[in-house]
Chains A and B, each alone.
Chain A
């Protein structure tokens, strides 16, 4: 062998080693340890650390926790997946099940779950469990790819102290307001309390991105047709809902104006007792224990259908397809999602409402801490909540498009009907593109 070729071989060899070093550092391969990647607040980290320690003690498996903030989770996880360093157990949303399952990133865990002593699927919310079923074609049916970390019903609340001071009867938990009734109350509580000519308290203060759903759905409006091929926001029902939403500010002035809302977020204003009605989710509960006013939950006010509506978030915990110890990984999933002790401590930490139906009812019956009407959360899950519109589409660009140029409507410079009519074709174009992408990535096109 000549010297030149020796050197070339050496170079190639070192390149190969380097490439191997870059690509091959996935799981440790150690069957007695697992990595668990998740996201959340410091409260959640504390609660999960405790749950994981219990699991370690019980199973003898060591668990490395990788925690990120909510913002950076998706980016980090994706980088881990592309780099072949997939954690053994990790969070994902229902929208990712399809692509992860098709790409062989996650594995089906039905037989582990069914064989598990910890899990009783009949005692878990259908919405939570079904969100992670996938039969290779459609979500919501077939084998399980994850168990819910939680279900997050987005409910509605009121400041009881403020309503009482204004001499208004407290909302009935079973008899929702109509939009007209609600508007009257909003106008009544929107006041300048100190007489300086400036409004100090408002009826409500909502964010269009997270609250339009309740109004649109309750009025019979829909984002998509049933098989998610058509954007249907250009209907009178939808326009009426968006117009009502925008009129709350521009016509009736019962919410802080856009500028005022940016000055002090409506969330802060609510906590300072300046707002009468505000959305409340389970993850708010620990923070809201310290509010210096009385508050409780109620159904969202209803539009044309007469039925309240809202959305439920959920995250799942699933197992990497490449894990060295699928049994232990599935056990960890079962422990976090369905173990009664874990669920009790997570619920007590205020991180979530229990995944176990019987425990959730117990939790709802406890009226010693606010909100007294915890049942409302369960009603959202069992009765009137649904997934956010982009959950089951390939990407949310079509959905984001609705909000990208919505400002003129919120400022009253454009009618909702005009805006929706011009936004619909743009949204449709993005949806078509997303559906194409989805088919291409599944190899069916």
Chain B
């Protein structure tokens, strides 16, 4: 045996895959798998399993304590004949009318804030405070403000000679009252996004338009509004998803769902069925229906938005 022979590399083993050769590679693989496993695990534990569990539970009679008893589609049938389900669904949809109003107001505010003037930072901060405040604290404050007699709202109306209603105790005004508060609460967030979008509109677009003789209003409609469309789309989608889940303000301001259930929203009703009435199975069925509705509306919005695509080149 010569030295040469001794030093010769071992013949490649064709039965093994090549990556097996590198231990570094193998270690990397393991690390990668670990990194992938975490989100997958999170997804399985916190998303897939609960959804699966909810689907199964929605076909049972379950009080949340004893073992669930299968009852077929009873929960879904019940939903169709449950006037409070429809009423709370209707209320939820009605309250979403606040979304376009809120967006319009926040756009106007953003336009105002986008001007060069003293104190804009101060106002931006002020408008953003409701966004970061605790919703429970805000709901309690507004509950006082809406008080029929000594509330801030009616006192203000009193100065201009209007005898304000007892907002939260009147079926006709309870919903608008909550909508006004929701608009106020969401204003700062939408405004900030609009402001950022406004500031990223290329200046030369306006300059070119001005050279072509476009008026300020024409510039607004032809440049600003289209350039803001992605932000508007984002806000509409997130607002609708959020609006479908409105709960805390309802539960604090009108703990019984308002006079004659006038402010009961679907999530509030689901919560009530689950925890007050021990109908966990029925509540899960309603949650699934709500989830499907939100999914459908969001998908529809994405479909509609695709047609509105534009580019500036």
Contacts and interface: CB of A to CB of B under 8 A. Distances in A.
B37 A75 contact: no
Interface string B131-162: 00000000000000001111000000000000
Contacts of A19: 45
Interface in B226-265: 256-257, 259-261
| Majority DSSP secondary structure for residues of A touching B | helix
A22 interface: yes
Nearest to A262: B148
B275 A407 contact: no
Contact of A15 (B41, B63, B260): B41
B86 interface: no
A405 B41 CA distance: 48
Interface string A420-436: 00000000000000100
A15 B64 contact: no
A265 B63 CA distance: 35
Q: Which of B33, B66, B169 has the most CB of A within 10 A?
A: B66
B279 A258 contact: no
Nearest to A403: B256
A74 interface: yes
B169 A258 contact: yes
A442 B169 CA distance: 40
Interface residues of B, number: 31
A403 B256 CA distance: 9
A395 B278 CA distance: 7
Contacts of B71: 440
B220 interface: no
Contacts of B302: none
Contacts of A258: 166, 169
B3 interface: no
Contacts of A100: 65
A78 B278 CA distance: 10
Given A99-B65, A262-B149, A263-B147, A74 B275 contact: yes
A441 interface: yes
B33 A78 contact: no
A404 B261 contact: yes
Given A258-B166, A437-B279, A440-B69, A263 B61 contact: no
Given A397-B277, A407-B260, A437-B278, A99 B37 contact: no
A81 B64 CA distance: 9
Given A259-B166, A405-B260, A11 B278 contact: no
Given A7-B33, A78-B275, A99 B69 contact: no
Given A103-B65, A397-B277, A441-B61, 14 more contacts: A15-B41, A78-B64, A78-B275, A81-B64, A99-B63, A262-B148, A262-B166, A263-B147, A263-B150, A264-B150, A400-B256, A405-B261, A437-B278, A437-B279
Which 7 A-B pairs give the minimum distances between C-beta atoms? A263-B149, A395-B277, A103-B66, A103-B65, A259-B148, A440-B61, A397-B277
Interface of A: 7, 10-11, 14-15, 18-19, 22, 74-75, 78, 81-82, 99-100, 102-103, 105, 258-260, 262-264, 394-397, 400, 403-405, 407, 434, 437, 440-443
12 contacts: A7-B33, A15-B44, A22-B45, A82-B64, A103-B65, A103-B66, A262-B149, A263-B147, A407-B259, A441-B63, A442-B66, A443-B69
